[in-house]
Structures are given as C-alpha cells and as structure tokens.
Structure 1
Amino acid sequence: MPPFIYQYVHRSLLIQLLSVYLLFVIVVLAGGVGVNAIVERQLYNDVQASNHALAQEIALETSLHLRDAENSLVELGKLAKRNTTRVAMEQLFQTFQAARSDVDQLYWLDPFGTLKASWPEGNVGIGSEFSPPNIVQQARVSAGPVIEVGIAVATTFNAGVIIAEPVHENTGRLIGIVAANLSLVELSTPLKTVIQAQQRQGQRLMISVIDDRGELIATPEHNRILQTVLDELPGANEALHGHATSSLSPTVDGQDWLFTAVPVPGAGWAVVVQRPASEALAIVTQLHLWLLAAALLFAIGGLLFWLLLLVRFIRPLQILALQHQTLPTSEQAIPEDTRLLATRNDEVGELARSLVRLERDGLEKLGELRTLLETSSIVVGSLEPQAVVRKIICEVQRLVNVQAAAVLLPDEHGVLRVLVSEGHSEHYDHALSLPPENPVSSAVLALREGRPVQKLLIPRESWPSFSYDDGFRSVLAIPIISRHAGSVVLLVHRVEPRSFEQNEIDLLLTFANYATLAWEHAILYERSDERLREVAQENEWLYQQASEEKQKLEAIMGSMQDGLVLTGSDGKVLYANQGAYSIAGLAGHELIHQPIDMLSAALCKLATNARDCEHIQAQTEAVIEIRQDGHLRAIHLRPFDVQPIGRGLLLHDVTREHEIDEFKTTLLAAVGHELRTPLAIIKGYASTLLQEDVSWPLTDQRHFLRTINGEADRLAQLVSNLLDLSRQEAGLLLLNRSDISIQVLVAQIVARHNYPQTALVVQLPADLPLVNIDSTRIEVVLHNLIANAQVYGQGTVRITASQHNDQVVVSVADDGPGIAPDELPHVFERFYRATYGRRQRSSGTGLGLAICKAFIEAHEGSIWAESSIDGTTISFSLPLTASDRVVLAAKEPGRKERRYV
C-alpha cells in the first residue's frame, strides 16, 4: 500500500469503519459460501447413501430369491430321481408350481435335452428339443444349478430366468434335467411396489435389474424386458464387474438424474436406482434461494446504515474536526456550523458544546501556563540547592497574591525547620520548629498526607502559632516530595483571612512539580561526584562478575547438543555453538561475523522440502526436515529476541519426538483401517447366523463360520505382528533356536501354505549347511516374502539360497515391474507400502517386511532388497550352527567377517 493511501486510511474514521465493515461482509459471504458448499455436499452424499442402500437391499433380495429358487429346484431334482415317468413328473410339477407362484413353467428333459414332461403343457409336444440348447449343455457338465435369462420357445413365449438342475443317480450317471422358468414379470413386481410407494410421496424413482449382457430382466415397464440398456444406465457396466458406483448424468430428455448401480451378489447382475436430480437436490435449491435473500437483505440494510452514519455522524464530525483544529484568538467568533450543531440534542450536539467550552477554558489556561513556564524555566536554571529554594519563593510570590513564603526542611529527627523564607520575621526563621506529632500544623499534615493543606489561622493555646504572631491569617502548605533528594514543604501566607481558590492551589501544585524537579536536580548534582566514585567501584566489580558469568555461559552454551546462534542488529552472527555447526554441516567458527543468510543457505541445502526454506529464510518458528549423512532429522527452529543485542535462533533436534508422533498417527490409522473390515465381516456373518426367521443350509452355515474363523485369524495375526514388533524394539523378543536345514524349512512352508495361481520355483543346493535359527520366526519371514512376491509379481516366485562365509543367504525374487529407486530404502519401514505392482488390488498394514526385518535382526542377520525392471529380490542372511562356524574358522584362520546390508 502506498504511504499516502495508508496515511489517508489511518486518519479517516469513515474509511476505517468502512474497511472493517467490508472485511466483515467478506468474512460473512465467505462463510456463507463455505457453509453452502458443505451442506450441499452433505445433502448430495445423503441422497447417494439412500439410493445405494435401496439398491443394495433390492440386490440382496434378488440374490436371495435366486438362491431360494435354486435350492427349491435342487430338492425337486431329488424327488424326481425316484420316479421319472411322465405322469409322476407332471403331478410333482403341479404340486411344486402350486407352492411357488413365481414359476411359469417346469420341464423334465432327458440327458440330451429332449422334452419328456412339462407343466403346464406348452404349445410344443413331448419329444421336442428344448431351447435354448446352451443351458442344456451347461447343465450336463455342471454339478449344480445353472441359470440363463431368455425365452424358452419350446413351450412358452414369456421371458424368464431359466434354471436347470442336473439329476444324477447314486452312481453318478446323468438321468435327466429338471428346468424351471421364473417369470421376469413376477421378478419386477417388488420393484413396481417400491416405485409406487415413492410416487405416493410425490417423488419419482426408477429401478432396473440387468443381466451380464446388459439386458433388462426386471423393470416396472414390462414391455422393455430383455431390451439392451447398458448405454442408458451410467455405472451399470462397473456394477456388472463388481463395483458399486454413483454418478450424476443427463438422460435423453436432457434432464439430470442421479444413478446408483450395485452388483447382485453371486448372480453377475446389477441393480440400477435412478431419480431426478431436481427432486433429490430440491433442498439445495431452497438453501441457495435463502442465502441469496439473506445476502440481498444484508446489502440493503448495510447501505441504509452507511447513509445514516454518513449524514448524521461522520459528516458533522468532519465539520467539527476541520473548524476546531486550532484554538481561536479571543477576537475570533464561534463558526456558524458549530453553532448549528450545538443546538442538536444528541451526542454530536454534546460534542459541539463541549468543544466551545474547551476553547474558552483553553484560552484562560494559556495565560496561566505561559506564566508558569516562564517561572519554571527560571527555577530549573540553577544547580545550587539554596539558590533553587530562593528562586522558588520568589516565583511563588509572582504567581499568586501572597505576602510571605517559606521552604521547610525536615532534619534527621523529622522536625521541620526553615530552610529559606521571604516576608517573615527573623524570630520566625530561627524559632520555627514543627515536630511530626504536631496535630494542627498544616505543613506537618501536608508532608504526612502528601497533598496540599490550607487553614485560616486563629490563636491557639496548646501550640504556638508563629505565623499568626507575624500577622498572617491564612496559610497554604504544598509538599515537594522527592524520592532521591528528600522532601520539603512550601508554605505561603496571606494577611487576609481568605481561603485560597482552587485554581490558585492547582497553579501552585503544578509549579511545585517543576520545583520538585529543580530541587532533586540540584541535590543530585551536588552528590554526583561522590556517587560517580561509588559507581566506578561498582562497575569494576560488575565487570569482573560479568567476565566470570560470560565464561560460564560460553561453557554451558558450547556443551549444548541443540544449536544456538546469536546475531546482532545488523544481522551478522555474533556467536554460534558447536551444536549449530553440527546441524548445519559447517566447519567450526565459519559463521562468526558472517550474515545469518549463510546459515540459512546451509540449512536449505539439507532441507527435504522446498517450503521449509521459506521458514528458514524468514526465521519463523517451524519444524523442518533435513537429510544429513543419509538420515532424516527433524529440527525445531525457534527465533527469539535478545535485548538489546539483537536476535537469537535455537535449533532443537526433535527427530525422536517427530518419529514417535508419526508412528502413533500411522499406527492408529493402519490398525483402525485393518480392524474395521474383519470386524464388519464377522459382525455381518454372525448376525446372519443368529437370524431366527431364516433357516440356512448346512453348507452356508459352514461357509459363514469359515469366513468368521478366517477373519478372526486375520485379527489375531495383526495383533501378533504388533506385539512382535513391540517386543523386538524393547529387546524382549525371545528366540527358540535349533539347528535346521533350509531345504526342510522351505519344504514345510510350501506344504503348509497354499499358494494358488503362483509358479513357485525352489532352487536350493543339496550341500547347504545347517543354520541355528528359531524355525517358527524364520517360517513367518519366508511366508511374508513369498506372499509379498505374489502380490507384486506377475505369477512366478523364485526361492534360492547359497553359503557366504559363516552365513547362509536366502533370496526370494518375483517377476514384477520392480521398485522405484527412491522407494527402495523405505520398504522395510513400518506401515510403508510401495506404489508399484498390484498394490491397488491388495490390502494390508504394511507390517510384513518390517516383521521380517525385526526377526532377521533378532537372529543377528541382515535383510536387504534389490530391484530392477525384471523384478525385485529380497535377501536375508542367517548364521550357521556353532559347529559349522568352528570348522569354517579353522579352514580360514585369516578371513574377516562379512555383513550383508
């Protein structure tokens, strides 16, 4: 901002108030826009969640309906196996269709697809070939029911879901096929019921169920059944591939609709729920209108407020300020504008009247102040105490109408005696003695209470009155109290029995303040020589103490591990301890007498984030990250003022605290994410098993229990991994070592774990020596490395091993795309998951390789990773048995131990 604009804004109350008001308006508008965005997004999410829940419920009901139909057809096949005659089949089909109203037609086919019996009887006679023929081919080779959507033209022209169940003898020979046609119209009935319920509430809704070919198989519009609508339903293609989606897209009529598509479990179908965006987001439109109305009302009210403020207050204040910038002379009249404003009855009128009174009083006070300044300058012009007192008395008689004046000084006992007087008798000057216990003396009371005291003098019997005897009838005592030069009392007398007016007291009290300075100045000047000698001695002692303290302080600061830098007012370094040089990577004494920018440049070179350089150069308090000798360090920069030298900068190493905070945050996020999924699965399957209104088949129950058991094992493995990491960091991880062959250990892992869709290549030399390890821990290491290679490879995992000196090195390699060089050093860190390979299709906490590193280091071994475009190889070393190490040492007495890192 230019200087003249800043001065104008600073001097104009109207501009200041308008700036504050505009700032308030901007904050309110920004807040309204922010609240509108948040509310709009929340409402949109709520509508999406409602559609998603409805689609999920319809998908689950459709899946359960198909499963129920399949199970019923399986039971029908078991009954049909007992008697395969046409009459028995028709009776059995008639009974089955009476129990299930959704079945249009039932068929009994021989193993080659020839129609042997049907119910109800169709247009084609017995012995015809069943169509579509591909479902017969699927049923002949399937062990369970098969499904196809279409029209069974052999007997009926109604579209439906055709379910075929092969019937086998106990010997396994196929004796026939039971088929049923489920009406797609009946399948659409629940959808129509939901849509009608929404229409009664004044909302439009459309629900569609499509098969894997993109054809409509359930819709309230029965004439559209089996039409291909994949391009008309956004998100349906993703739902057919198992992904639930929601999107806002226009339809053919140009209107925006909200589409939500979810897959039907186990069927390969999809459910699409759609509703107009204008209805779903109607409340958002109402919110926009309300905010617009509030903004308009706010703007109109603000405009009226500023017009009233300008006319009634700001403009009158400007007139008063311009017309009363200086005091007028006595000849100048009051301005006409001020006189008119003074007639108002509000605050502006009070201000105008006050300005007029102040100008009149000011003119009266100016004369008194002019005289007061002249007398004060005369008093202050002397440095000798006696001369100062005489001038004080002389100028007092000039200021007010008095006939005598005196200055009283207390002695060592507090008794007030005359120091200098004018206008009194000689007897008064020598005989006056006022002890502190005198109850009637105005001088004693003034000195005791620290305020002016006046009295009219009358004859007293208990205490003699020297002032009354000298012919004076009124007295005023003013204390001149000085903290450094002692206190005195100024007494003025009049012969008339008349009290001093308040303006006279105020004038003398103001003069007394100037007299106090003169008195103190004179006394202190008189004592200056002696005090200067004392100060010189004190300075010598203080210099010696300061030198000792400086040496101690330098020793303390030099031993600090944190960095400390002190700069002068010119920005050059005055002091830097060894900690600062170590953190910045500079040589000793390299910063002394150099600009602080040299330290900033050194820290910027080490900083890992370019934004940290802004904090370093601006010397603001912040935590920055630097990389030094391959290690990351967190440094807390805290500038501070060092008065009156300049500024200081403290560089505190908070790496450990930073790592602890990051570990806690990552641990909570990872554990929370990993616990949520298995717990949700366990809760869902357990709730399903506890439902009393559904009878689950034994196979389904075992499937649910196996899922619950697997997820519980996953939770237990997560807790075990965390506990093992904690034990290893605390040094409490116990190893149950034994001598074992790597070949045996790898064979046990391959036999115990199942690695589907993976080509596992094991190349282990037969002459590998035994290793002394905890086989349980190393089995976890190998399993984690194989699982990691499965996730990030292309299908082939290679395990190799070889002997290197007194260690066996085992390698697990995959054929994936490899790891980026900047990510390779971090793969063994806790909760770190690289962005290569098939990471997006895998889940986990990122603890697998960290567990491997902990277990290998607990065996005093090493683990490392190597990567290229042909794949990633992770290797680790294990110690040989004690006997093998002794034999190897005997063969190579001069060899050196080799470590793999």
Structure 2
Amino acid sequence: MNLAFVFSLVALLCYAALLILVVRRGLHIRVHQVFALYLTSMLIGQIAACVVSLSQSTVRVLFWYRISIATTFAQLILFFFIARIQVRIHVSRLNTILAMVAFTSVVTLLYTDQGLFLAHIHRHPVTGLLVPDFGILLIPIAVMSYTFLGLGIAALVQAFRSAASDSERNRLRYLIISIVISLLGTMANLFPALVGYPVDVAGNIISAMLLSYAILRYQLLDITLVVRRGLAYSILTVGLATIYLLSIWLFERFVRSVLGPGALLIPIILAMSAAVLMQPWRDRAQAWVDRLLFREKYDSRRMLQELSKSTATIIDLEALGRMMLSELCRSMRLERAALLLREESSGALFVAAEQGLEGPVSELRLTRSHPVVQWLQNSDRPLHVREVETAPQFHSLWGDEQEVLKRLGAQLLVPLLVKNELVGILAVGPKLTGEMHSGEEELTLSTLANQTAVAVENAHLFATTKARVAELTTLQDIAVRLVAARSLPLVLRVVVERGVELLHADEAHIALWDPANNRMGTHCGATADGQPCDLSETSAANLPIEMAARYDKPMVIGDMWMQAAIAPSLAREGRARAIAAYPLSRENTPVGVLAVIHNRAHNFAEDELRLLGMLCDVATLAIDNAQLLESEQAKRKLADTLREVAGVIGSTLMSDVLLELILEQLQKVVDYDGAAIMLLRNNQLEVSSVRGLPRDYLNVGRTLPLGQFPLFTDIIRERRPIMSGDTTRDERWHIGVADLPLRASIGVPLLVHDQVRGILVMGKSEPSHYTPDDLQNVVAFANQAAIAIENARLYEETIQEKRKTETILRESFSGIVFTDVDLRIVTFNTGAETITGFAAEDVIGRPLPEVLGASIVAPSSPLGRVMATGERVPPQETVIQAASGVRDILQGTAALHDSNQTLFGYLISFADITRLKEVDRLKTDIVANVSHELRTPLASIKAYTELLLDNIEGEDRDMRDQFLSVIDREADRLAELISELLDLSRMEAGRFEVRKVRLKLSQLVSDVLQLLDVQRKSRGLTLRADMPDDLPDIVADREMALIILKNLLGNAIKFSRPGDEVLLVLRPTPEHLLLQVVDHGIGIPEDAIPHLFQKFYRVRSTTESGIEGTGLGLVLTKQAVEAHGGTIEVTSQVGKGTTFTVRLPWQ
C-alpha cells in the first residue's frame, strides 16, 4: 500500500459520499442530475486510480489509465454543462451533440491508440508507481478538454460579472475556485517530477467538495471570509511558530548548558506563557489584516457595533431610520437602501426612511398579503431578489406588486422580526463596487435587522406615545384656537384646517344642520394646503354626510368606488374616494357633520376615527359656544339696534311721522322689500303707513274689513305672528292680499296690554328668505313699535285734553295756581295774571309767599289749613298781595295726591272780589252819602214846612216867601241828587242808550252858560268861553254832552274863589275836539287826583271848607266821556287852580 492508493481511496470515499448526498437531495433539478454524472465520472476515475496504484501489470495499468483519462475528459465536459446550467444559460441540443461527439472521439482514440497518445508505461523512480508517457495525440485531446473547461469558466466569469447579488457572486466564486484547483491538479501530471505524486487526486477532492458545497448549499460561506480568517491564522501561526521555535532553541541551548536535563520544564512553562501573552497580539494581527486587506468587512463590523449603541439610545423612528440607513450605506458602500415599517391601521409596509431611492416613495406599499411579506413573515433569513424571480411561490405577483419591488431597487430583503411578528423590512440595494453581498454581510444585516427590530418596536412605542402627545397637544391647540376664535365662520375654519392636519387627509368639511328647513345649511371646507373648498351638489360625499346627520351615526367608507349604495358614475365623478363623516350632536339634537376626505382609497384606522371623534367633541362644544356667542352678540346687536330704534321712534310722538320712522327703522332690524302698518279702528284695519308696496293697492287711509282678509284676521284673532316661506303656497294669501309682490312674509300683531292695536306686515320677493331668528327680531321690534304707537296715541289724547284744560284755564276768569310741595309756583293761569297783575313767566318757579304775600300761607288761611290738615277746605275770603296792591279774593285750596296717595302739590283757585268788596263799601258809602245828602235838603224842607205849618211867619209875606224859596231850592237839590243817582245807575248797568246827533257846539255852550248863570252870579265869578267861530259840529249824545259841560263848569264855579274867572276852551284837532275847563280855585291835592273819579269820593279840603257835593258829578262825567270813546285828564296845583282836559272824537 503506497501513498497514491491512500489518496485515491480517500478520494473514492469522498466522491461516493458526495454522490450519495446529491442523490438524497433529489435529482429533480437538472443541475443536480448533471452534477451526479460529474461525481459518477470522478468516482469511476478514482476507482481506476486505485487499481493503477495497486497494479504491477503494465497492460492492466494501461487499460485503467485509458479509463481514467476518459473520465477526466468527461468531467471537463460535464463541468461545461454544470457551469452553463448554474448560470442559467440555455444548453442547446447542438451543445449536447458536440459534447457527445467529442467524448466518443476521445474514447475511440484511447482504445484504438497505437502509442500516439499513451506511448508507453514506466515505473516512477521515487514513488514506484507505473506512470504513462504521452504521445503526440496528447495535444489535440488536451485542447478539446481545456476548450470545454475554458467555455465553462468563461460562462462562470461572465455570470460573476453580471451577478445581481453578493450571494450569487459568492456561489460563482466557489465554482471558479473549484475548477481552478482541479485544473491545477490536472496540470501537475504534465510535470515529470510530479507525475508520481497524487497531486491531481488531492486537487479533484478539493474541487469536488467545493462544487458540492456551491451547488447543494443554499446559504454559502463567504469565500473571502475563509481566506481572511485563514490568512489571519496563518500569519499568527507562522509568527507564533517562529517565536516559539526560536525561543525553544535558544533556551534549550542556554539552559541545557546551565541546568542539564531538568531544563525541559522551562520550555513548557514558556510555551504556556506565550500562548496567554500572544492572545492580544493575535487580536491586533486580526484587526490589522482586516483593516489592510478586508476594509469592507472591517467597516461592517464597526458599523454593527456603532449601530448597536445608537439604536439603543435613539427612540425617534424617523431619526433612527435616517441614521441607520446613512451609516449602512456608508459602511457597506451601498447605492440605495430603504426601511419599510408596518402601518398599524392596515398592516401594510410603507417606506419610513430611504437613502438613494429615486422619485416619490410615499405611495409605495407592500400589503400584508404580498407574497414577499408572507415569505419574510415565515422565514428567519434574508430574501434575495433573485429568488423572487425563480421561486415558484413568487410567480403570482401582480404587476403593481412587482413595480413596488422594482422601484425599491433592492438586492436583499432582510426581515425585522419581533416575537415572530414582522414589523418591518430592511431593503438593501447593490454595492457601489458592483460586488455581491457576502454571507458575512448578510449575517451582519440579519444581526442589524434583529437589533433594529427591537429598536423599531421601541421607537414605534415612542412614536405612538409621541403621536398621542402630539394629538393631545394638537387637540389642546385646537381647543385654544377655538376658544380664541369667537365667530362661527372662524370656528368652522379652524375645525376643518385642523381636521386635515390631524388626520392627514386631503380635505375636511363641516356642515351645520338647519332645523328650520330640515337640511344641511352653513358649510365650510379646506384642503391639505389650507385653501377653502366646497362640495358640489353632485359629489358622492354628500350622501354619507347627509346620512350621518339624519341617522346620527358615523359613516366610514374606505373606497366609495366599491360602495354598492353609491352609483359608480357618481362615485367616480368627484375627487373624493374615502370619507369618514361623524355627526355633531348635543343632547341628541343634531348640530352638524364633520367629514374628512381622502382622494384615494384609505382604510381608516381606529386611532384616526378616535381622533376624529375627539375632534368632533371639541368642535361641537366650540360651535355651541360660537353659536351662543353669536346669538348673544346678535341679541346684543338687536338690543342695541332696538335701543337705537327706540330712541329714533321715541323722538317723536306725532303719529304720521312715527309710523314712517317705524318702517324706516324696521329695515335696520330685518330686511324687507315691502312693509305696511295697519291700525285697528272700529273693527276695521286702516292702512296707516306703507313702504315699498304699490300705493294703488295699499294706499294710506284705506280701510280693510277683517272678514275679507283671512291672513290679517288670523293674526288679530290668534294674537301671534305668522311667517310664510312661500306666499304662493299659503291659502291665506290667496284672498285679499294675493296681489302683493311678496313671496316670503311675516305678519306680527301690535299688542299693548294684550290688546291688538294693529298689525305689521312685511315681506321679500324671494321665497324662504326669513328665518325663525328674523321672526323673533320682528316680534321684538313690533313690541317696541306698538308701545311707541300707543304712546303717540296717548300723547295725542293727552295733548287734546291738555289743550282743553289750557283753554279752560286760559278762558277761566278765576285765578288758578299750582305749586309743588315746596310751594314753588308751577302753573299760573291767565286769570291769575289778570287778578294779580303778575306775568306767569315772572313768577313760575318762585315761592308762592314771595309772590302773593305771606298771608297766603298763614295758619288761618285756606292754604295754611290744607297744609296742616291735608283736607279740602271750603272757599274763604282773604287778601293777597297783587302788583297794584292788596286784592280781595275768594280762595279755595286742595292738596293733590298721586295714585299712591303721595302729595305732589297744591291747587289754589281764587276769584277777584275786590270790586265786589268795593261795591259793598260803595253801597255803604252811598247809603251814608245819600242818606246825608237826602237828609240835609229834606231836613231843610221839613223844618221850613213845619214853620209854615206853625204859622210862625204870621202875616209876614216876605218871611213866608223866604221859607218857600228855601223849600224850593232844597227840593231842586234833592231832585238833582236823585237824577244823578239814576244816571249813574243806568250808565254802570249799561242801560243808558247813547243817542248821537249832530250838535252845534256854540249853541250847546250857550245853553250851558245860561243854566249856570245864577250859580255864577251867586259866587261872584266870571265865566268865559274861548272857542273859534268856525268850530265844526260834533256828533254826540246831547244829554251826555250837557252832563260833561255842566258838571265840569259847575265844579269849577263851586271850587273857585269870588272874583275869579272860569275859562271854557274849545279847540278843534283832526281827530278830536279838545275841551278844557280852567279855574283858579283852591286846587286838588296830588294824592287825591287818582280817586277823583270814584263814586262819592270828595276831597277832604272841600268837605272841611263846607262846600256841598255828592261826589257823583265827576263819575258821571267820566262815564259820559268814555261812552263817546273819549278821554278825560286832570292837572291841578293846590292854591293855584285846576284844569280838566277832555278829548272827544268828532263822530
């Protein structure tokens, strides 16, 4: 048994074991079939090698050498087929025929050889084996053999260069190395020195093992890793061996010379120490080799260490993805990489972070049902994209699923698993160097993926918490903004904008429910870029919004295109694709609907719907607050408007002006095209004011019987407002008022103390214009208007009553004074002015005692008694201070109280009884004077008559005549006195009839002078008349003219001294006759002049001097002058005389 046989036997056993392994793996794959043939040929060749190693017969050795050469040629041909099949190059029928022809030719040449190929056999001088000598045919057979080998190697090299993955390159690298080793072993036979050694057998063993590993194993060791580790260990081994052997040798030499045979223990100790001390040097050597020869592997390992530290500290998902991909692409020199993470809502995998991908990647999705996702979920190793192309389970990929993988551009998909649950995928692209990913790199990526999966899960938890915090912050921000947004439009705007932002939607819409019209009303919408938008009437989104409002239930549709309840044409018409509509309600009362819309199909996650529900709650509260604020502001504005309106319509109490102002101010409260006010009078409506309506139909002043107008009758009878959205559909408008050009109307009764005073009717030309708020505003306005109209009516009635009262007060002869509780004058009527002589404007506001004297408030006065007792007292005579002096009055006083019996003033009424009191005094004076004046002549007459009766005179005739003349004179005096009294009585009673006739003044004067001649002579006076000759006639009453001249001249004679002259002067003026009587008598005191024309008044000096008189002459004279429309004046000086001047009109 020699060394060659041992090697051949080992090779035989190896090939047999490999063949059994291939057969057990299955021969259903073509490459396994060809490789089984390849191993079979190698097994036959090794059998031949074993026989050759043991044989000593040259003939037998030659036979088995031919078999060995034939199997070697077959191996090269089969390698050609293996290489082409492995790299997926089609093996044509022609290739198969050529290979068979070549093999047949070689076999034929071998067994028909005449020494041209195998020249002879000789024994190797060193190994003792029988080895052949080759002839001339070796060259063509070698050329054919290496041609097949070269074609196989060329196919492998070409495939290696175009390999899409590192694993594929690594596999091809194994195949190339195996065939190179086999080739080197075969070429050893060409060197005579090596022919006897089993170099080719050793090479074939190594080559077969590498081929088996490359073909049968799915996950291959990185050959570069093997070389790297081998090189590191080789360097370390050589270094250690050198140091160890050198140390052993030196110490052996040194110690042996010193210690002798016991020195063997020292090398053993040194060897153990060296083994321990050299470990750090081994690590440094390994690091140096890695850094110098395997830089990428070194960087990958460092990257894994750095990322292991970083992933443990970074919990932000986005930052983690960016950092990991950036470091991964830098360390492993990748063109691109992406991190796909699971979407909680749908379970789909989306691109969370990317490095080097082209175009938008936000829409890239790997659904949960994607075959690649399913494969990675059930596997614990990376997936090569090459496997996706060849594995049968991936043949069902849809076009869009393949497009996603293509856009990712990944060569390797590494699963991220947490508790056997796929949470993400690490998509690794090709290297910048074009090399495939090695097994060690795949292991590194798997390790990184495992660490990343945990970090992703932590980051996901952090992101979820952060998102929740962000959501709560956003909701808080929304709440703050909604609180700050006081107006309803701004609130709606904030809600839709934040709804888009919070739910990452394309649009958001909010619509408020209009209960009056039982449909959606106010609407607000916003897009993702903040622009306002609206939903068309034909949009399919209106249906779920309407349903959510009507049924008070959320409506969530992920894809309206697939919704059976929505017509396909309608669903595809608008831009909305997915919608979530949530109702806004308050205590089961619909408020509106908030809807978020996506323009593509979208499965709403529970978190999204929860956020939408929370936003709806906040929005409902904000809308309620805004509506309440808006309502409050509207009420406040209405109140301000009504207050302003009240001020305007309260500025006048004139009915006509007021009604015009009411219709004018109504426009400020509620808009209208036409309006009218009709007041109820005598069970009929009277059109009192019209604005904006045809006046030929509703003209002011027209009366409308209630029975002919059902609409107006209902308003008055029911005492409530009536609003009509469309008058053309209201039967009450068809009778009586159908011609009014109004489509929407409001009719409101004007109520005062629950009594209808009229109605207010208004309207617009467009239907359904008015809202319930408008109706309430009109009712509030109508209440104020009714009060204003009632005030105007009461004012007019009050004015009329006041005018009556003022007329009564003004025309009343009695004085009426009204004071407040402080006795300040408030009212002072004309009668009071006449009686007191004070003007009302001078005394109003002044204290009563200051004006009428303190006696007016004396305790015994009527006012004093009323103030003391508070009770009404009967009229009482008293005196007051007037402008002309003290006046006698008959005073009545009453205390005035309001409905609460509160004193608010005093009413003082009085009549002037000064004249009556004067008359009473005059009557007394008259009685006294008349009695005196009558008694004197009567006494004289009686005395002289008694003397005559007693016959005192006897027969004395002269005495008797004297007695009779006295009686005659006193009788004339008595007759004159009685005549004067009768004339005065007639004049004062107005019974004296003025009979004017044309009088010649000269004749009149002559007659008067003749009548007074006896009296003149008795006084010894001169009486002279001074008048022009051409004095015109005067038209006057002759009797009164005689009274004037007789009384004035008689008084002048009576009060002149003997010897004086009395002058009568008559002068004509254009308007009057000037008559003057001038005497030079005793004169009249100045203080007596104002009383000269009072009845029975006589100057004291005349009385004392014994001058007789009745005191009626001047009174009669003045009455006669004034009866003719003239005037009389007096000028006098005591002791010098008196002048009476009379002016009488000519007619």
**Which bin holds the TM-score, normalised by the shorter protein?**
0.3 to 0.5
Q: Which has the larger radius of gyration?
A: 2
Higher relative contact order (CA 8 A, sep 6+): 1
With normalisation by structure 1, the TM-score equals 0.33
